[in-house]
Chains A and B, each alone.
Chain A
Amino acid sequence: MTSKTFNVILRVWRQAGPGREGRFVEYPARGVNPDMSFLEMLDVVNDEIAARGEEPIAFSHDCREGICGTCSLVINGKPHGPNHGVASCQTYMRSFKDGDRIVVEPFRARPFPVIKDLVTDRSAFDAIQQAGGFITARTGSAPEANSVPVPKEVAELAMDAAQCIGCGACVAACKNASAMLFVAAKVSHLGLLPQGQPERDRRVLAMVATMDGLGFGGCTNQYECSAACPKLISHDFIARMNRDYAKALFHSAFRPAAAGGAGA
């Protein structure tokens, strides 16, 4: 556990507010312990900055155990840093060495405007979710849980998709700032389960329309998203969503219209 401390130089994006001009500022981080997390290293640097009477670096973080999806740094050109399958908060300083220059930037995408420094506004994801990322099940109206069996393989696959922490690294990593992996994860999680079938077509059409409307780019099947995903969500789900989308288009074009009308 005791390991020698070392020094690195941070080059951090500083931006006073939304739409303001930003620039990179260098800060030395001295006495870095390899067992520190990247965010803990930033905490220490921030205390030093504050002690000098300057404003600390604003960065998003909360649970610091890789599940809340709040942290969102691009470290040396990679969302969430050099390691595979972890969030920024689980990036440890042992991944760096003495004398490294580390460039820290916010997630960049037009639908994720910078709020301040490294903090971005990712409310676009909530808007996509609100468009259809749910199964309508009024509280109290649910049938007995075991009345609908779900094959283990299906439940596991749904869980693979459902693990998404909504951090936005997929968007940050994509050269098109596409949100396909995020949306595909949501669509697949609910679309795989029997409970999600009634709204399956409506869901995929609505979520994709909202995603497009918010200004996310399209998918060019390069799979940078799944490579950057801290939960390693597979781009297989994107293929699945494409298929679901095509089916839903087909269904919507040929479904006979129901007469409808209010009940008694």
Chain B
Amino acid sequence: MDLVRNLLGSTIGKKLLMAATGLVLIAFVTGHLVGNLQVFENPDRINGYAHFLQSLGPALWAVRVFLLACAAIHIWAGTVLALEDRKARGDEPYAVHKWIDAAVSSRYMRWTGFVVLAFILYHIAQFTVGAAQPATFKENIGHYTMTSDYRVMGLTVVRAGTEVLDVRSMVILGFRRRVVALFYMVAVGLLSLHLLHGADSLFQTLGVRSHRWERGLKAVVAVFCAAYFLGNLAIPCAALLGYLH
């Protein structure tokens, strides 16, 4: 079919795929952060939230597969484009090259992308699969008894008194290791940098960006990325500095 052939075959098609999957992934990491920030509240919040997500069963898996597919498409398209781009440049490099206008964040997308990928793999290994730090993973941490109901949009999804996994402790204990916390902080920094170009860039690729609001868009994206970075920084910092028990 023409549509699929063009989407997968053309440069713009692949860029459109990157932009669309990038948008999904931005939505995901944003939601993920908002959920995680519940760690700063009563333990009922984050533990109830985790239990709720786990209880979704097949729906959770559907979301996971979708997100993994988006990530895979994003990475596949990015890699193919990068290889094509390198080939297009030719064998003889410029003896002198000066950047004119390109934003710093845009110059290192492939490197930040790589680190982010490594981070995601580690992150999943750490908190989802439990391979990275088995000592602090869920099987090895205690259970927690909910002291109040956990509600989503007014609906009670986890009742008080339910035995749930103590995810909060898992997170805090995980970040007590300085190397892990440091890697995490560097990685979210690079992820934020990746988003700084990516979140702005996807508007261009999807064809909804114009000089008229270029500056406004850049400002909104910058504020978003800064907030995202600080939000993510807060959890390991708090764990390290002992604000979270």
| A–B contact via C-beta, under 8 angstroms | yes
Name A's B-contacting residues (CB within 8 A): 11, 13, 22, 24, 74, 76-78, 103, 105, 108-111, 114, 173, 175-178, 180, 205, 208-209, 211-212, 215-224, 226-228, 234-236, 238-246, 249-250, 252-253
* Total A-B pairs, Cβ < 8 A: 158
Cα of A217 to Cα of B204 in the assembled complex, Å: 17
Interface pairs (21), CB distance under 8 Å: A22-B92, A76-B96, A78-B98, A114-B92, A175-B85, A175-B89, A175-B102, A178-B85, A215-B87, A215-B88, A217-B84, A218-B14, A222-B102, A222-B106, A226-B101, A228-B100, A242-B204, A242-B207, A245-B16, A246-B16, A252-B6
A228 and B94 alpha carbons, distance in the complex (Å): 15
Q: For the complex, is B95 an interface residue (Cβ under 8 Å from A)? A: yes
Contact across chains for B204 and A221 when beta carbons are under 8 A apart: yes
Interface string of B72-104 (1 = CB under 8 A from A): 000000000100111111111111111111110
Q: How far is the CA of A211 from the CA of B203 in the complex (A)?
A: 22
Measured between beta carbons, the chain A residues less than 8 angstroms from B93 are: 108
Closest to B83 in A: A217
Q: Are A235 and B204 in contact (CB under 8 A)?
A: yes
Given pairs A110-B89, A239-B204, 18 additional interface contacts (CB within 8 A): A77-B97, A108-B89, A109-B88, A110-B91, A176-B88, A177-B85, A205-B6, A219-B11, A219-B12, A220-B201, A221-B201, A223-B102, A234-B211, A239-B209, A243-B208, A245-B10, A245-B207, A246-B16
Residues of B within 8 A of A (CB): 1-3, 6-7, 9-16, 81, 84-103, 106-107, 109, 197, 200-201, 203-211
Bound form: Cα–Cα A241–B207 in Å? 7
> In the complex, A76→B77 CA distance in Å?
33
* Residues on the A chain within 8 Å of B204, using CB: 221, 235, 238-239, 242
Q: Could you tell me if A236 and B210 are in contact, using CB atoms closer than 8 angstroms?
A: yes
Contact partner, B10, options A173, A175, A209, A238, Cβ 8 Å: A209
B211–A218 CB distance below 8 A: no
Contacting pair B85 A220 (CB below 8 A): yes
Chain B interface secondary structure, helix, strand, loop or mixed?
A: helix
- Determine the distance from Cα of A224 to Cα of B94 in the docked complex, in whole angstroms: 15
Chain A residues whose CB sits within 8 angstroms of the CB of B94 once the complex forms: 74, 77, 105, 108
CA distance A109 to B86 in the complex (A): 10
- B6→A77 contact, CB < 8 A: no
Asked if A110 meets B88 with Cβ closer than 8 Å, knowing A239-B207, A252-B2, the reply is yes
Nearest-CB distance from B81 to chain A (Å)? Answer: 5
Task: Tell me whether A77 and B211 are in contact in the complex, defined as CB-CB below 8 angstroms, given that A111-B88, A242-B15 are known contacts.
Answer: no
Q: Which applies to chain A's interface (DSSP): helix, strand, loop or mixed?
A: mixed
Given known pairs A218-B81, A239-B210, A242-B16, the reply for A105 and B96 (CB within 8 Å) is yes
In contact, B101 and A223 (Cβ under 8 angstroms):
yes
A221 to B106 CA separation, bound complex (whole angstroms): 8
Do residues A176 and B98 form an inter-chain contact, with CB atoms below 8 A?
Answer: no
A11 to B208, CA, bound (A): 43
Q: State the Cβ distance, A203 to closest chain B Cβ, in Å.
A: 14
Q: Name the residue on A nearest B203 (C-beta).
A: A239
| Contact, CB under 8 Å: A249 / B3 | yes
Residues of chain B lying within 8 A (CB to CB) of residue A110: 87-91
Q: Is there contact, CB below 8 Å, between A221 and B96? A: no
Across the interface, which residues of B come within 8 angstroms of A13, CB to CB?
Answer: 95
A217 near B95: Cβ-Cβ < 8 Å = no
Q: How far is the CA of A223 from the CA of B204 in the complex (A)?
A: 11
The answer to whether A227 and B101 have CB atoms under 8 Å apart is yes
Q: Are A236 and B206 in contact (CB under 8 A)?
A: no
A228, B99: Cα distance in complex, Å: 10
Known: A77-B97, A110-B90. A246 touches B14 (CB 8 A): no
